[in-house]
Amino acid sequence: MSPHPAPLFAASQVACSFARLPAAFYAALPPRPLDQPRLLHANPQAAALLGLSAADLDSADFLELCAGHARLPGVTPLATVYSGHQFGVWAGQLGDGRAHLLGDVRGPGGTFEIQLKGSGRTPYSRMGDGWAVLRSSVREYLASQAMAGLGIPTTQAMALVGSQDPVMRETLETAAVVTRLAPSFVRFGHFQHWARSPDMQAILLDYVVAHWFPDCFQGTAAQPDRPATACRLLAEVCRRTARLMAQWQLAGFCHGVMNTDNMSILGLTLDYGPYGFMDAFQANHVCNHTDTLGRYAWNAQPAVAQWNLTRLAESLLCLGCAPADLEAALAGFESEFLRAYHQGLAHKFGFTDWRPEDAALGDDWWALLHAQRADFTLAFRYLSQADRDPARWLGLFADPAAARAWLTRYQARLAQAARPAPQRRAAMDRVNPLYVLRNHLAQRAIQAAQQGDATEIARLMALLQDPCTPQPGGDPYAQPPAADAAAVVVSCSS
């Protein structure tokens, strides 16, 4: 079946700004459609950004677009090329090996690129088949909603489409496609790809700055100052990335594969593979079974982000940027990370402000959780009520005496602020989630979806949209896995 336009959007809403770049930036080609696709779930919140209604999501046109059978009017889908470091090693040319950019759509929420992930081979697939399996697609679909619900910048998933197309991974599985949205999918790796091509790097810089960072532009239209513009862009990307890292740390989120090609130039969480929200806290927790050296452990994530930003800075040298100016732009990462981290931790602790002396209390908090292997999410959540129900919070710790000693210090700090307890409890419960996407919950949804049942996906999506508010029937979803439950192992194939 040849692709045809899907009449979901007016032609005036649709474009593809990336396609206006020189042809070396991408390969124009259609997705490989899924055979007998089935819409497993659609995300009304994401779809509303594009102005789509509930009726649109139920239409055959929507399914055909998200399954790769249709295209946006007047736009040829494409896959973009980029390069990058993977696990700290230069991997050379990479690119969208299993993703197709359908184009840009302007809607009530702004302009978003629509991308299909798992939509077939491209010239950048290397040895891959271009498919995504249902297992990994369910994980990405749910994770993007989990992060959005927590207020953490992320790409958003609009639809999950399954099929009976066979795909071989460790075992025989079935293919699926996630339709995801972002203002841009440009990565650090796009800039790395042109690190030795000043003219092409300048084109990419101009494109990114004009569309998403106009305040970074320096010079005049007739005589742009690209070195100064690049340094300002780098400084802003550093700030956004630093804030993102603070949010990841405070949510107990581990990305699992923080390669430079998985880092968004907009500061979004990008590419959900072997991620995990921690259950029992371990500061050096590694969620990716493939990461045998622990490069992407939870406590390493901010430093890895800083390393990745340095690789981005190196790619800008070809524009004539002075090394000292790039170093100055990079220097803002640590202060911005600490500012966002301290502010976020103060909110989670119920403090009205962060004081320098709070650092010791915060450090001892992580040491306590690590030594006791306490549940990350519930340790924060139950803390809001620890003054009137200490037993519930203390019950999370193997050694209640050590926890009680920390709690005494914490309560003394609360007393200094003289904040009314009901106000503090409410404020803490607004920022400390009850529901996160624990691996065992995602696995349960995957297993049901593999049997054709999307009920668990729908239930989790509803809970994760409002993760801080208790919901009827939600108690089982707020608990860690049973002590005797088999661990869910995720790897780069996830």
SS3 87: coil
**Residue keyed to tokens 């002075």:** 322
Beta-sheet strands, E only, within 123-247: 132-133, 156-168, 172-182
261 is catalytic: yes
Please check whether residue 437 is in contact with residue 451, taking contact to mean a CB–CB distance below 8 angstroms. no
Q: Which of 330, 340, 273, 276 is nearest to 305 (CA)?
A: 330
The H or E element that residue 474 is part of is: none
Q: How many CB atoms lie within 10 A of CB 397?
A: 21
Burial of 156 (C-beta count, 10 Å sphere; 0-12/13-18/19+): buried
Instruction: Report d(CA 167, CA 302) in Å as an integer.
Output: 35
Beta-sheet strands, E only, within 231-339: 253-254, 276-277
Instruction: Report d(CA 359, CA 365) in Å as an integer.
Output: 10
Q: Six-digit token pair at 208?
A: 């990114």
**Residue keyed to tokens 């491209």:** 122
Cα angle, residue 34 at apex, residues 33 and 35 outer, rounded to 5°: 115
Which residue type does 239 have?
R
Catalytic-labelled residue, pool 96, 104, 261, 271: 261
SS (H, E, C) 144-166: HHHHHHCCCCECEEEEEEEEEEE
Residues with catalytic function: 261
